[in-house]
Structure 1
C-alpha cells in the first residue's frame, strides 16, 4: 500500500522489498500523485531491470515522462481508455471564430492566448481581428490525435442517440416491454429508455463495437501502451496492442510484440519467476511464509512418479511396476530368479553335472572292480546305492535353478530331502555294518547274524520311507508354490518358491540332521578300530563336512536376498554331496586305480598282522 502522506520511511521500505524480490515485474495500481514519490526514490536508489505494469490511472500520465525516469520506467506497459477519431471534430474546431458567439469568453481568451493579441482596441498589444487562422498552429486545442475521454463521450452520445431512434421507431409487437409493447411518448419516463439502451449494438467509424452486457456495462476495450524513448530523450507512449472484450475467444488481446520496447540489457521480455517450473519426476513443495509462486522441486520417492510439469504430488506405481531413473513414468519391475543363462546359474549347473558324472564314473569303477577286496570289504551293495543316491543329490540341485514352476517347487525339496535321506541312511547302515563286523571278528562274536543283508536293506528303506512320509504330508497340507516376492527388493519382483509350511521344511531338514548326527556319533565311537576297518574314520570325516556345511547353511540362507537364497541352498547341496563323495570314495578309488597292488586280501589283512 503506497503512503498517501509521502512517508519517506515507508517508501524506502517498499523500494527495499522490490529490490530483494526475485520478481522482475511490478504491477502498480495507484494515482499518479501517490506513485510519483516512489518512482523518485527508485531513481535515487538506481533500481533498474524492472518491468512496470501501469494501471489506467497513470498509464498515460505525462508527469512521469522525464529524462530522469526513462532508465527506470522506460518499457513500462499499461492500459488506457480507447483512443479514437471523431469525424468532423477537427474541422469544427478549426472553423471556430470569436465572432460566432460574442458572449463566449472562453473562445476569446483562447484566441488571445493563441495569437498573443487582445480584442480591446485601446490595448497596447496587438489587436485581435478574429480572422486569424488556426490551421498550421500546434496546440492541445487543435490536436485530436489522442482523444480518449472525448471519444468515449462521443460513443456514449451515439449510444443514447441509437436508443432514442429505436424508441421513436418502435412498432407494436416489437417493443421491449410486456407483450412486446412500445412506450407511450406522451407519458415517457427516463427509466423506460434503459431497455432500448441495453439493445444498442453499433460500430463506430473507427471500427469499435458499442454494446452492453446483461448488467448494463459497456464491453471493455482498452489500448495497450508502451513507454518508449522519445527523440528528445524523454518518454513517449506508443500503442502496441488492444484488448477488446467483444472479440472472439483467443483474439481478445492482440499485441504487436515486435514494436514493444523492453528496457533490459537483453532487450527481451523479462523472465520474472520466483521458482522455475518443476519438471516431471518432481513435485512442488510450497515454501512457508512465501508467495505461492515460490516453491521447491522435490524428487519423487522410489516407486513414485509425476509425469506432468509442476505436479503437486507424486503417484505410486502399481505393484508390479517401479519408477524409472527420471521418475517420470512407471516401468515393469525387473524379474529376478536364479537363471540357467546367468554366470552364477551356469557355474552351479556345470558343477552339478560334473558331480553327477563323477558319481557315474565312480560307480563304473566300483562295478568293474566289484570282486576286488576293497569293494567287497566295504559292502558293495550299500556303496552302489550310496553312489546312486549321491548322483540324485547332484541332479536335484538343478531343480533350484530356472524360473520357479509349480512342479519344480513341489519336487525340489522332496527330491532333495529323499535323496539325502537315502544317502545318510546308507552311510548310517555302513557305519553299523563296520561296528558289527568288528564285533563279529572277535572270538565268539556273532553280531552280524542279527544285521545281515536283509536287515541292512530294510533299515535303509525304513529310514528313507520316513522322509518320504514327511514330504507327502508336507506337500498335501501346505505345498510349496511359486510366488512373487515384492517385499525383499522394492525395484524387483523375485520369483521364488514359498515353502508353504515352515514346520514341513524344518521337519525335512531336521530328519536329515538327525540321521547325520547318529551316523557321526557311531562313526566317531568306532574311529579307533583296526586299520583294515578304517571305514569309520572316512565316515566320521564325511559327516563332519556334511554337518559343517548345513550348520553354515541356515544363517547364510536366511540372510541371502532374492535369488541368492536359492544359490546358497544349491551350494550347500553340492558341497555336502562332494564332501560325502570325496571322503568315502576317494581313498578307495585311489587304491583301485593308482595302487592296485594294495587291492588284495593279503594286503588288507597284512596291515592288521603287522600291527599285531
Structure 2
C-alpha cells in the first residue's frame, strides 16, 4: 500500500504467514515470490500506520504545511522478502525517463518495522551504513541495543533484556526456581534464552532443561522436546518463540497429553489468538506471560471499519484483504465507485469480530502508532530548527529540500512526547524504549474458551520494590489446588543451615547442612554460615548469636556449696580445737607440745580453710590478688610452725644427752617465734614482688571451651606462682625429712611421728595436685586447687591435733606428767 506526500515513511509488516518462491530457471525471467495465509492482526498494524499518518496530516500543530506519505510492504515472514522490501523503500523500484528528467518512487526518510528481530538485524546492518532511521515496533532482540553495529535503529518495544528480567521477577515472586526453557532457533529466541539464563541465576534459580525448537518443525525433534517436558521434575515451562515455531509444539503437547504445567509466555505469543481455543484449555489454561503495553487509539476502529477496497495495482495489499475477508474479486476495468458493490459482505465488516476489527487489546498496533508519531515529532523538531542554532556543522539546520536520513536520526534520538493515551515516548542512548509490560493470564471462560486478562504490570521505571505489581486474586490457576504449583529442585534451607550444592547438578539443587557450632545463618537459603563474635555462641537452632555462658565456680552450684561447707567446717574444727587447747592449756599434753606454736598452727590452719572461700565466686581483681597471697602466706605460716615444732623436739632430745646440753639455748621461745616470722616474711616478700610485677587479674579464658567463657584468675606471672608453691614445697620437704628421721626418738610422747604422717599427707596432696590442676578444665581447675587446700589442711589438723584431743577429751587420766613421761603404773 502506498500514498504519496512531501515526505515518505516506509513500513514493513507481516501481512502473510508464508512466502512461496517459484522454481529457479535460467531460461526465462525469474518469477516473483508470492505470499499465502493472510494475517488479519498484522494487517490491522499496517492500517494503524495509515491511520497515524492521516491523523498527523490533519493535525495543524504537527508538521504544518507538510504532507506525509507512506509506502508499506509485506515481508511474508521471510528474510529475503523483507530485505528486498527494505532496499525498495530506500532506493525505489522504477524509473521513468521523460524529457531528460528521472522520476520514480522517492526514497523514504524513515522506516517503521521490521517486526522480526532477525529481519531487523539484517536490514539495520545495511541501513545503518547510510544512517537511515528504522523504528521497529516488535523486534526485541537485546543484540539490537548495540549502538556501534546498529547506529540508526530504534524501537518502541522494550528489549529482550528487559523482557527476560520481567519474566524472572514473576518466577521469583512465586518462588519458582526450577524451570524449563523452550526457545525458537532464531535471533529472537537465542538471545532471549541467553539473557534469561543470566536473569534466572541472578535470583538463585536455574534452568532444568533448555531445548531449541527446530526451524523445520521436525516432528521427531518436537516429539522429543515434549517428552522432556513431560518427564522433567520442573513444573514451570518458559517459552520464547513466535507462533510459527510454537504451533507444532502445542499440537504435540496435546497428543502426548502433557498437563499440570505452568506455562510462561514471552511477549511474542502471550496474547496470540491462535492458541485461545477450548481444545487447549487443559494444557495452556492459566498461562502467565508478559505482553506489550496495551494502549488505546481514539477513532482507530472507525478508520478500520471504513477502509474501502480499490483496484489500484500499488495497493494490492488492500485488494488481498478484501478477497480474504469477503471473497471479493476485482476486475481492473471496474471503476472505484463500483468496487464496493462487488463485495457482497462489505456491509457486514462492522459486525464481524476479527483480529482486524478488534481494538480492545491494542499492543503491537499501539507500538506502530507510537513509532509513526516518534518519526513525525522528530521531523517536526527538525523543521522548527532556527538557522544559527542548529545541531549540525556551523550550527546549521537541515534543509527541507535536501533532507538526509541521518539528519532525522539526530532528532529521533532526542524525541520526547506523550501519547493521547498518556504514555511517555522517548529513547535511551541505545535507541530502546522505556521498559513497561502488562502481565497477562489465560483464563477459562464459561463457554470453555480462553480469554487473556491483564493481572499486573512490570515497570522498570518504578521505584525499587514496585517494579512488579500483581493482583494475585485475579489470576486463574489451572490446577486442582486453585493456586500456584511448587517448582523447586530443593526446598529452601531454613535459618540455621546453609546451602551445599550437589556435585554435578545445577546451583538450585542442593542439600541443607546445619551450621557448625559457633556459626549461624539468620536468613533463608544462606550460602554460608557466619562466625559469631568472640564472646558469642550460636543458639541451639543456629539462627542467632547469643552471649556465651560465663563459667566460674559459684556459691550457688552444688560443687561450690560442698566446698564452701567443707571450708567452713574445717574452720569450725580449728576453732573447736583452739577452744579445747585454750581450756586445757595448763595440762601436760598441751604444755608438752609447745602450746604457743600449737595455737599459732591452729590459727594458720583456720586461715588456710578460710582462704579457700576466696577461690569461690565470680573473680574480681581484689579476690584474684588476695586468694593466692592469702593461700601462700597461710600455708607457709602453718608449715613453718610445724617445722619449728619438729626442730624443738629434736633439740630437746639432743639436750637430754651430755654432749648436747647447750642446744636448747638456740631454741627458746623468742627464737621459735623469730624463726616462724622470718620464714613467713620471706613468703610475704615473694607475694609482694609477684603482685607488684605481674599481678593476677580476672581473665576470660576461651581456649578450653568454644561454647562458653571460663572466667578465671590469670596468675599473671607463672614464675611468681611457681616460686610461691615451690617455697611451700621446700619447707614441707625439709619438715618431712626432719620429722621422718626423728620419728624413733625414745620420748614416750614423740610428736614427730604425727608430724611425719601429717607432712606425708600434705606432700602427697600437693604432688597429686599439679597434674590434676593442669588437666582439669575451667572451673574444675579451681575446684582441684580448693580441694588440695582443704585436704592438706584437714590432713595437718587431724594428724597433729586429733591424738591430743583424744587424750584431752576422752582419756583425761593420760593427761598427766607421769603418763607423758612413761612413769604411770600399767593396768593389768
Q: TM-score, normalised by structure 2?
A: 0.64
CA 1:262–1:426: 2 relative to 1, 3 Å:
same
Q: Which runs of structure 2 are paired with 1:3-402 in the superposition (5 Å)?
A: 3-4=213-214, 5-6=216-217, 14-15=225-226, 18=229, 23-43=234-254, 46-67=257-278, 69-95=280-306, 133-134=347-348, 137-138=351-352, 140=354, 143-145=357-359, 146-172=361-387, 177=392, 182-243=397-458, 254-402=469-617
Q: How many angstroms does 1:281 deviate by? A: 4.1
* Structure 1, gaps ≥5 residues long: 121-126
* Structure 2, gaps ≥5 residues long: 1-210, 332-340
Q: How many angstroms does 1:571 deviate by? A: 1.6
Partner of 1:571: 787
Partner of 1:123: none
CA 1:541–1:260: 2 relative to 1, 3 Å:
same
Partner of 2:731: 515
Q: How many angstroms does 1:586 deviate by? A: 1.7
CA 1:111–1:470: 2 relative to 1, 3 Å:
closer
- Check conservation: 2:749, 2:820, Cα contact below 8 A: no
- Check conservation: 2:651, 2:664, Cα contact below 8 A: no
User: How far apart, CA to CA, are the structure 2 residues paired with 1:508 and 1:245?
Assistant: 77
User: How far apart, CA to CA, are the structure 1 residues paired with 2:345 and 2:700?
Assistant: 106
User: How far apart, CA to CA, are the structure 1 residues paired with 2:701 and 2:239?
Assistant: 62
Partner of 1:582: 798
User: How far apart, CA to CA, are the structure 2 residues paired with 1:481 and 1:412?
Assistant: 11
Q: How many angstroms does 1:268 deviate by? A: 2.0
Moved more, 582-591 or 7-16: 7-16
CA 1:93–1:367: 2 relative to 1, 3 Å:
closer
1:133 partner SS: helix
Partner of 2:754: 538
Partner of 1:422: 637
Q: Which runs of structure 2 are paired with 1:351-500 in the superposition (5 Å)?
A: 351-438=566-653, 440-441=655-656, 446=661, 449=664, 452-454=667-669, 455-500=671-716
User: How far apart, CA to CA, are the structure 2 residues paired with 1:11 and 1:108?
Assistant: 37
Moved more, 226-235 or 109-118: 109-118
User: How far apart, CA to CA, are the structure 1 residues paired with 2:405 and 2:532?
Assistant: 69
Q: How many angstroms does 1:59 deviate by? A: 2.5
Q: How many angstroms does 1:310 deviate by? A: 4.4
1:267 partner SS: coil
User: How far apart, CA to CA, are the structure 1 residues paired with 2:558 and 2:468?
Assistant: 67
- Check conservation: 1:400, 1:566, Cα contact below 8 A: yes
Q: Which residue of 580, 586, 600 corresponds with 2:816? A: 600
Check if 1:504 corresponds to 2:728.
no
Aligned residues: 605
CA 1:421–1:498: 2 relative to 1, 3 Å:
same
CA 1:172–1:13: 2 relative to 1, 3 Å:
same
User: How far apart, CA to CA, are the structure 1 residues paired with 2:727 and 2:279?
Assistant: 100
Partner of 1:124: none
- Check conservation: 1:519, 1:543, Cα contact below 8 A: yes
- Check conservation: 1:520, 1:539, Cα contact below 8 A: yes
- CA distances 1:342-399 after superposition (whole Å, capped 9, x unpaired): 4433433333233223223322321221211111222222212221221222222233
- Check conservation: 1:530, 1:608, Cα contact below 8 A: no
- Check conservation: 1:225, 1:241, Cα contact below 8 A: yes
- CA distances 1:251-284 after superposition (whole Å, capped 9, x unpaired): 6655443332122222223343444554444444
2:347 partner SS: coil
2:578 partner SS: helix
Moved more, 370-379 or 431-440: 431-440
Q: How many angstroms does 1:333 deviate by? A: 3.3
- Check conservation: 2:326, 2:343, Cα contact below 8 A: no
2:711 partner SS: strand
User: How far apart, CA to CA, are the structure 2 residues paired with 1:220 and 1:298?
Assistant: 41
Q: How many angstroms does 1:426 deviate by? A: 2.3
User: How far apart, CA to CA, are the structure 1 residues paired with 2:403 and 2:815?
Assistant: 143
1:2 partner SS: strand
User: How far apart, CA to CA, are the structure 2 residues paired with 1:113 and 1:459?
Assistant: 132
Moved more, 552-561 or 160-169: 160-169
User: How far apart, CA to CA, are the structure 1 residues paired with 2:401 and 2:766?
Assistant: 118
- CA distances 1:513-537 after superposition (whole Å, capped 9, x unpaired): 3333333334344444557324233
Partner of 2:767: 551
Q: TM-score, normalised by structure 1?
A: 0.84
- Check conservation: 2:683, 2:724, Cα contact below 8 A: yes
CA 1:332–1:580: 2 relative to 1, 3 Å:
same
1:422 partner SS: helix
Q: Compute the RMSD of aligned alpha carbons.
A: 3.9
1:533 partner SS: coil
User: How far apart, CA to CA, are the structure 1 residues paired with 2:713 and 2:308?
Assistant: 110
- Check conservation: 1:159, 1:197, Cα contact below 8 A: yes
2:642 partner SS: helix
User: How far apart, CA to CA, are the structure 2 residues paired with 1:400 and 1:246?
Assistant: 69
1:579 partner SS: helix
CA 1:11–1:514: 2 relative to 1, 3 Å:
farther
User: How far apart, CA to CA, are the structure 2 residues paired with 1:132 and 1:408?
Assistant: 110
- Check conservation: 1:532, 1:608, Cα contact below 8 A: no
- Check conservation: 1:94, 1:134, Cα contact below 8 A: no
User: How far apart, CA to CA, are the structure 2 residues paired with 1:390 and 1:248?
Assistant: 80
